[in-house]
Amino acid sequence: MIFYFSGTGNSLWVAKQLGAYFDEKLVSIADELNKEENNFQYHLADSEKVFFVFPVHSWGPAVLVLRFIEKMNLDNYSAQQVYAVCVCGDNCGYTDRIMQKELMQKNVLLTRTYSIQMPNNYILMKGFGIDTEEIKNEKLELAPSLIKEIEEDIQSGKHKNLYVSGKKSFLKSRIVYPAFKNYALGRNSFFATDACTSCGLCARVCPTNTISLVNKKPVWNNTCVQCTACIHRCPVRAIEYGKITRNQGRYHHPDM
Ligand SMILES: Cc1cc2nc3c(=O)[nH]c(=O)nc-3n(C[C@H](O)[C@H](O)[C@H](O)COP(=O)(O)O)c2cc1C
Ligand code: SF4
Ligand code: SF4
């Protein structure tokens, strides 16, 4: 079973590759959470592998993953292998340790954590931005071979280090990540410009139903988790985040 969350399609692409290779079905974390149940039960076959595939947000797991794990129960879980695949733009800090701890609270042992670098989608703060066209293409070209490495690592059991924490992980994951969860989430400065055609795509792709169309224009409430799906996927580039994104590029995975 592959539990996945994705804002701009990178993690969805990774989840699909792993799902095809290991013949495991995909379960969308966002869709599950939107069922508004308090307990999600999943039955595991004896030989089933479990994956969590998600974007790294501020050097920790995208928060919907944590909200999901809190409500999740794995039926017939005993010795099945459980993997976290962190989809990042650069590096992941202690995302591996955070996942290990969260899963341990559900009595689930994380077998291994992998990371995979894909194009960057964070544009909501000064000093950050999407990759140049050249770097984006390099990352997309390299991605299939990185997936292959993960698949071989799992199949062979000869474990290599396929996880990139980067430098200053303590600062990033123990200071910045909690601050991101406490202060950035739930707030946003999104607005739609006059270029908006009222197509409603932003509202449809939002995983937290944060956006509704009022008088045919999108408005954002306070449940945003900053996944950046809306701003990157608007087909006419009509969404901005304060003044920060005016000169920023937009990105979503080409298969999306
Ligand atoms: C709020 C936010 C925070 C991010 N923080 C990090 C980070 O700490 N490290 C990193 O390498 N990439 C970071 N990124 C970039 C994404 O992890 C990366 O682009 C990922 O591939 C996006 O996956 P997706 O297309 O499945 O959403 C961040 C992106 C967002 C939106
Ligand atoms: S996706 Fe863009 S054009 Fe469509 S409703 Fe949203 S802001 Fe308007
Ligand atoms: S409002 Fe936009 S950035 Fe926030 S959760 Fe929804 S799609 Fe993601």
pLDDT tens profile 118-146: 999 999 999 999 999 999 999 999 999 99
Give the DSSP H or E segment for 256: none
Instruction: Answer positive or negative: Cα dihedral of 203, 64, 250, 11.
Output: negative
- Average pLDDT on 211-231 reads 96
Q: Give the Å distance between the CA of 189 and the centre of ligand 2.
A: 15
The fraction of the chain above a pLDDT of 70, given in percent, is 100
Ligand nearest to the CA of 165: 1
- Average pLDDT on 68-73 reads 96
The full set of domain ranges for the chain reads 2-181, 186-241
Flag whether pLDDT at 36 surpasses 80: no
Residue 52, beta-bridge partner list:
3, 84
With a 6 A CB cut-off, is 239 part of the ligand 3 pocket?
no
- The Cα–Cα gap between 203 and 107 comes to 36
- Average pLDDT on 224-231 reads 97
pLDDT tens profile 179-208: 999 988 877 899 999 999 999 999 999 999
Mean pLDDT of all residues belonging to the chain:
96
Tokens of 119: 């194009």
Given the CA of residue 253, which atom of ligand 1 is nearest to it?
A: 25
Q: Is the pTM of this model over 0.85?
A: yes
- CATH of 186-241, picked from 3.40.50.10800, 2.102.10.10, 3.40.50.460, 3.30.70.20, is 3.30.70.20
Mutate to test the pocket of ligand 2, among 205, 231, 234 (most ligand atoms within 8 A of CB): 234
Give domain 2-181's CATH architecture: 3-Layer(aba) Sandwich (3.40)
Residue 39: what pLDDT? Answer: 85
pLDDT tens profile 81-124: 999 999 999 999 999 999 999 999 999 999 999 999 999 999 99
- The Cα–Cα gap between 177 and 54 comes to 15
Residues 6+ apart with CB under 8 A from 59: 91, 92, 93, 94, 95, 169, 172, 173, 176, 177
Q: How far apart are the first and last CA of the chain?
A: 21
